[in-house]
Amino acid sequence: MSTHQLSKEMLTLEDDLPFLHRDISWLSFNYRVLQEAKDPTVPLFERIKFLAIYSSNLDEFFRVRMANHRNLLRVGKKTKRELEISPKETVKEIQQIVNEQQIEFNRIFQDEIIPELKNNKIFILRRLELNPEQLTFIEEYFQEFMLPYVQPVLLVKNKIRPFLNNAALYLAVVLQDKFGKPGTEFAIVKIPSDHLPRFIELPAAPDRKDLIMLDDIVRHNLTYMFPGYDIVNSYSVKLTRDAELYIDDEFSGDLIQKIKSSLAKRHVGPASRFVYDREMPADLLAFLMEAFDLEKYDILEEGRYHNNFDFFKFPDFGLSHLKNPPLPPIAYPAIEDNPSLFKALSEGDHLIHVPYHSYESVIRFFEEAARDPQVTHIKIIQYRVAKKSRIMDALMQAVKAGKQVSVFVEVKARFDEEANLLWGEKLEKAGVNVHYSLPGIKVHSKVALVRRVESSGFKMYAFFSTGNFNEDTSKIYSDFGLFTADHRLINEAVRLFGFLETGKQPQENFQHLLVGKFNLRDQLLHLIEFEIAEAKAGRTGHIVLKMNSLQDQEMIRKLCEASQAGVNVQLIIRGICCLIPGIPGVSENIKAISIVDRYLEHARVFIFYHGGKNLVYLSSADWMVRNLSHRIETAFPIYHEPHKKEIIDIIHLQWSDNVKARSIDGSLENPYHKEGMDVNIRSQLETYYYLKRKAEAF
């Protein structure tokens, strides 16, 4: 990424405001993931995991974003959403960057990871390196486990053209007839990594671990599949298909049925990327392009192996010293040690920060609500649900206990549509009142409510979060959550659920919550305007924003305006950052960093100095057009001063990070953020011990 020179079009929105194309910025983020894979201070198995994350990210990018660009290229259109840049220019730029990254990926794996594995007595062998016992093993393994899945097919021009499954691995095989038929023939063989482990352990001496990749077992056994041919060579290929559902009209008809119908077509969509071994000869590539109806902009060269997200399942052999040292989740004693959760919540707000804090307090919120005979109602918004969810189980148990349970299920959560539909059906069968997606918008808020009858009448409790109600992701996604009985927030959460359940506009405006499609964008602009006015009056103007992505043009213009007025703007952006900081006269008072470490930075935090009041909001919303204009998002204020301080302290630790933070600028070089500090500060570790000290002092 650091050697790539971007075209002018990718860097400019208008002459007065440099603006980085969102997909180029995303590729820069994914390169930061790749940086972790080549960082020698990262434990070996974690480096391998980052190779998998990089590959998984890139695969989704091509299925969604690149598929869109290629569709535009096919119809020959430009789009104002992408700043009047031609699709051809965009595709070309992306391919060049990805190709450079793929070369570096292969270098990291071959020159750094493989030698380190060998240093630890772990060997990934190719078939020509196997001893007789191992050769016998892979031949028997092929016959016993693989033969039903490999699906060998001879390719005949204009006649035999097999369907390539999305993201499945294949070998393109060059054959020579044994009986003297002139010329070469081509075939396709499936590598069954969707049925079998990608890494197979081989018989080996006691002091070492030998592995072979499934691909190479197939390579070795090609002669069994084509008995009348000599095998000249074989080259790995993979086709990625467009994953967009393309639900054209969400305002009419049965949306759920449309989604179900579209899901059935997702895996047979048009090509969005065809990757192939860069050693493949030109005649074979040309044949495959014609056979599978591929254009030049559909193809991308890689190394010998594809689907490197399979590194997620790389065997660890119990070698814990090659992994990150464990950080056991910290109990939140104010809730977990209290015999009554609702008594604890009635006494004041509680702020948790997962995965540093245990997620048990959130699970307990729902499980205790399900059991408590005084609880009458439970409401929740579900965006992405864990495969095995104690929260969902608690909701179904609550119905059995006679409580009224209402769940809003967003079925347009990309790649979780099918899982969410299944959960919705399961909840409905259990008697839960399930509401599904709203027409034209996506619901991304993370809010839950509980209504309880108490001696003074009924009382309501809420949980607001920056992340999903998901027990799985809570172990690796860094998010904030607020338990509260504050009537100011409760009343507005009730109003939000009323809108989601009925579709009717709230009769009163939101005064405390910032809610997408209502007041979120306007209030954020108003808060920035206040800082601008303060700076122009000679007072302190200061904004700190933490989010996953910053892409919305209007918000970027306003932040640049704030910079020009003298407001100090600090940005902590994990992923897309279309704003280019540090440009004299434009964004010189804006600095931006990105942190990639063992946990996925997922929390959104907005801090405005506001004349010394330090207004702090936590949110589900990134500053992208889709979030601010086409989604129901929620930003919730933090009113409890100790919680404000805790959030500001943690954000300060992140800004001080000089180990895992990278500086974001127009060069896309992702240099590590140093800021002249002598002591190493790794913010995720510092945050863990900061919260651990607080828990122990409770």
Strands annotated E in 466-619:
477-484, 514-515, 542-547, 568-573, 590-595, 600-601, 604-608, 615-619
Distance of CA 359 to the CA centre of its chain: 20
SS3 482: strand
Per-residue model confidence (pLDDT) at position 260:
59
Query: Cα separations (Å) of 481 from 371, 406, 474, 550, 692?
Result: 22, 21, 11, 22, 17
Sign of torsion over alpha carbons 546, 549, 555, 558: positive
**444 is a catalytic site residue:** yes
Q: Taking Cα atoms as reference points, which of 555, 567, 572, 566 lies closest to residue 648?
A: 572
Say if residue 21's pLDDT is above 80: yes
Q: Mean pLDDT throughout 131-157?
A: 93
The sheet with strand 514-515 has its strands ordered as: 514-515, 634-637, 615-619, 604-608, 542-547, 568-573, 590-595, 661-663
Q: Is 5 a residue whose pLDDT tops 70?
A: no
Q: Residue 677's pLDDT is what? A: 67
**Per-residue pLDDT tens over the stretch 28-47:** 999 999 999 999 999 999 99
**Coil, strand or helix: which one is 144?**
helix
**Cβ atoms < 10 Å from Cβ of 340:** 11
Catalytic choice (69, 377, 444, 602)? 444
The C-alpha atoms of residue 620 and residue 378 are separated, in whole angstroms, by 21
Residue 314: left (phi > 0), alpha (psi -120 to 50), or beta?
Answer: beta
| d(C-alpha 144, C-alpha 673), whole Å | 53
SS3 162: coil
- The neighbour count for residue 499, using CB atoms within 10 Å, is 17
Question: In this predicted structure, what is the pLDDT of residue 497?
Answer: 96
Spatial neighbors of 88 by CB under 8 A, at least 6 apart, are: 73, 297
Binned at pLDDT 50, 70 and 90, residue 678 comes out as confident
Contacts 24+ apart (CB under 8 A), 109-118: 109/51, 109/303, 112/38, 112/40, 112/47, 113/37, 113/44, 113/47, 113/48, 113/51, 116/44, 116/47, 117/44
| Minimum mean pLDDT range among 19-23, 108-112, 404-408, 689-693 | 19-23
Has residue 133 got a pLDDT over 80?
yes
Cα separation of 88 and 221, whole Å?
41
Cα→Cα distances 153→101, 289, 292, 483, Å: 33, 16, 14, 59
Give dist(CA 596, CA 583) in Å, integer. 25
Which H or E run contains 288?
helix 282-291
pLDDT bin (cut points 50, 70, 90) of residue 163 is: confident
Q: Is the pTM of this model over 0.85?
A: yes
The 3-state DSSP class for residue 49 equals helix
The domains located in the chain, with CATH, are 333-502 (3.30.870.10), 514-696 (3.30.870.10)
Pairing of strands 153-155, 184-191: antiparallel
CA angle 476/357/462 to nearest 5° reads: 100
List Cα–Cα distances, 122 to 113, 126, 216, 315, in angstroms. Answer: 11, 13, 17, 10
Tokens of 74: 């096919």
- The pLDDT tens digits of the residues spanning 239-285 come to 888 765 554 444 444 655 655 565 555 456 677 789 999 999 999 99
